[in-house]
């Protein structure tokens, strides 16, 4: 049975701050499902059933400690229509658990193509992920006209955007750290996000606006620079855990109230059962999510 479509009467940033404070967490849990790493009982299922069961299990395990979950769309897309159906099941299940969904899709295109992506991920057709998605990662490198369709739809429907700025991978520096107008390109993206929010009719005028930025937890110095350049952007901080980022590395991203940023961990949490003899594979997942949640809390 399809759950009720979430209502979003308040701006995304307000709802995000409320959830951070209500559950006492700054943790996002990424859902990057690799079937070969699933518990044995799930590996024997067909891909659609396996992906859905794993996603549901992760959601049930982290619902009380994760501000949002972040399904990485590529791990579902690789299985074609079966993967899309599994993704649909996972995002709908998130709604039943009251957990917001940040879809990690990193889309970026122009004109009608960008509008079609915005319809797919922020639309209201219950046969698409759209109604169940609260925020989306996007790529800014085709310029402002590639952002507009997503931004307009996000403001209309009270969703959020997270624009790639300084990503957590070492190769991100190949282009993101190149100097443009006397500063690294990632800072130009951060300043542009602030400008785009100021230019957007209907954008939330609160402490934080609808355009967030993706900044790797693995680069604390760059993170501090982005925070200064974009004071009204929520920061999504991938790279916590397996990639080497620590809670202490991301302190500069948060404001005095402990808001403004969310740290993301995927593999270190969702595969926490590996190498352990446990009856319920979701128990180590929940335990590791709590450890990561608490480590963030301890440095704020």
Whether residue 172 lies inside any domain: the answer is yes
User: What is the per-residue pLDDT across 61-98, written as a single tens digit (0 to 9) for each?
Assistant: 999 999 999 999 999 999 999 999 999 999 999 999 99
44-66 in b/e form (b: 16+ CB < 10 A) is eeebbebbbbbbbbbbbbbbebb
Does residue 7 lie within any of the structural domains?
no
pLDDT of residue 202: 53
The boundaries of the domain holding residue 202 are 12-299
- pLDDT tens digits, residue range 168-210? 877 877 777 787 778 898 999 999 999 998 887 555 556 898 9
- Residue 186 CB burial class (10 angstroms; 0-12, 13-18, ≥19): buried
Identify whether 2 is part of a domain. no
Average pLDDT over the chain reads 91
Task: Spot the catalytic one: 106, 144, 248, 290.
Answer: 106
Q: Residue 1: inside a domain, yes or no?
A: no
Q: Report helix, strand or coil for 245.
A: strand
pLDDT, tens digit, for every residue of 88-138? Answer: 999 999 999 999 999 999 998 998 999 999 999 999 999 999 999 999 999
Please indicate, yes or no, if residue 116 is contained in any of the structural domains.
Answer: yes
- Would residue 78 count as lying in a domain? yes
106 is catalytic: yes
Place of tokens 């009204």: 232
Note the pTM of the prediction, 2 decimals.
0.93
Q: Which CATH number goes with the domain that contains 115?
A: 3.20.20.70
Neighbours of 221 (CB within 10 A): 8
DSSP H helices, the chain, are: 12-23, 40-43, 47-62, 74-77, 80-97, 111-122, 144-157, 173-176, 185-199, 220-229, 267-270, 282-299
In a domain, 28, yes or no: yes
Which one, of 152, 31, 165, lies nearest residue 103 by Cα? 31
Pairing of strands 179-180, 160-166: unpaired
> Position of tokens 């609160």?
206
Is residue 6, in this structure, part of any structural domain at all? no
274, exposed or middle or buried, with CB in 10 Å at 0-12, 13-18, 19+?
exposed
Tokens of 238: 């991938």
Number of structural domains in the chain: 1
Supply 263's token pair. Answer: 């740290």
| C-alpha dist (Å) from residue 18 to 12, 67, 155, 259 | 10, 10, 18, 10
Question: Hunting for tokens 């009720």 — which residue is that?
Answer: 4
Q: Are 214 and 163 in contact (CB under 8 A)?
A: yes
């Amino acid at each position: 049975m399809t759950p009720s479509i979430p209502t979003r009467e308040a701006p995304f940033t307000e709802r995000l701050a409320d959830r951070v404070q209500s559950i006492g967490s700054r943790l996002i849990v990424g859902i990057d499902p690799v079937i070969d790493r699933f518990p044995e009982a799930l590996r024997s299922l067909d891909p659609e059933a396996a992906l859905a069961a794993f996603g549901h299990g992760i959601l049930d395990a982290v619902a009380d400690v994760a501000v949002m979950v972040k399904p990485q769309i590529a791990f579902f897309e690789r299985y074609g229509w079966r993967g899309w159906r599994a993704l649909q099941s996972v995002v709908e299940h998130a709604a039943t658990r009251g957990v917001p969904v940040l879809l990690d899709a990193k889309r970026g295109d122009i004109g009608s193509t960008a509008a079609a992506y915005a319809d797919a991920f922020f639309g209201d057709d219950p046969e698409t992920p759209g109604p169940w998605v609260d925020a989306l990662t996007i790529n800014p490198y085709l310029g402002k006209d590639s952002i507009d369709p997503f931004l307009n739809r996000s403001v209309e429907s009270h969703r959020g955007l997270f624009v790639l700025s300084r990503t957590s991978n070492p190769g991100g520096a190949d282009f993101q750290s190149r100097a443009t107008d006397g500063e690294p390109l990632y800072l130009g993206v951060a300043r542009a996000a602030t400008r785009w929010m100021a230019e957007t009719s209907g954008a939330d005028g609160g402490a934080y606006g609808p355009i967030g930025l993706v900044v790797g937890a693995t680069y604390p110095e760059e993170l501090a620079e982005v925070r200064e350049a974009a004071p009204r952007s929520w920061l999504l901080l991938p790279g916590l855990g397996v990639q080497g980022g620590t809670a202490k590395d991301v302190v500069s991203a948060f404001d005095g109230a402990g808001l403004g940023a969310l740290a993301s961990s995927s593999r270190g949490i969702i595969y926490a059962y590996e190498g352990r003899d446990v009856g319920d594979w979701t128990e180590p997942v929940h335990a590791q999510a709590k450890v990561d949640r608490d480590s963030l809390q301890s440095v704020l």
